[in-house]
């Protein structure tokens, strides 16, 4: 059985490692053009990260209950959209902290 805490820990681990990869390809955005390219990089890396999760076999519950049910393309799409949501949330927090 999967607990809420386990799911949160997996999400945190995936988020931190994905962000580290994204920042290797693109620095944080400073204008609209860099924001758009940053979001494209975020979507692509987030979508592809699902393959790492699936083939690493580190998270069998996640694969069984999420990736196997969605199929490849839908899982990539939802992972990419999830990455955009998380990234926008992080950028808003950074923007608000920077305004202080």
7-39 b/e with 16+ CB inside 10 Å = b?
eeebeeebbeebbeebeeeeeeeeeeeeeeebb
List the pLDDT tens digit at each of the 100 positions of the chain.
Answer: 567 887 788 888 889 999 999 999 999 999 999 999 999 999 999 999 988 888 888 888 878 888 888 988 999 999 999 999 999 999 999 999 988 7
Quick one: pLDDT at residue 1? 52
Predicted local distance difference test score (pLDDT) of residue 48: 95
Q: Going along the chain, which residue ranges are E strands?
A: none
pTM: 0.86
pLDDT for the residue numbered 2: 65
| Residue 14 vs residues 17, 30, 89, 98: alpha-carbon distances, Å | 5, 25, 16, 25
Helix (H, G, I), strand (E, B) or coil at 26: coil
Who's near 45: CB < 8 A, 6+ residues apart? 18, 21, 22, 25, 83
């Amino acid at each position: 059985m999967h607990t809420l805490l386990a799911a949160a820990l997996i999400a945190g681990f995936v988020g931190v490692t994905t962000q580290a990869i994204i920042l290797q390809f693109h620095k944080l955005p400073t204008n609209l053009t860099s924001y758009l390219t940053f979001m494209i990089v975020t979507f692509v890396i987030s979508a592809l990260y699902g393959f790492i999760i699936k083939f690493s076999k580190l998270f069998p519950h996640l694969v069984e209950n999420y990736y196997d049910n969605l199929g490849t393309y839908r899982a990539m799409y939802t992972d990419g959209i999830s990455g955009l949501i998380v990234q926008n949330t992080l950028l808003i927090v950074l923007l608000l902290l920077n305004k202080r």
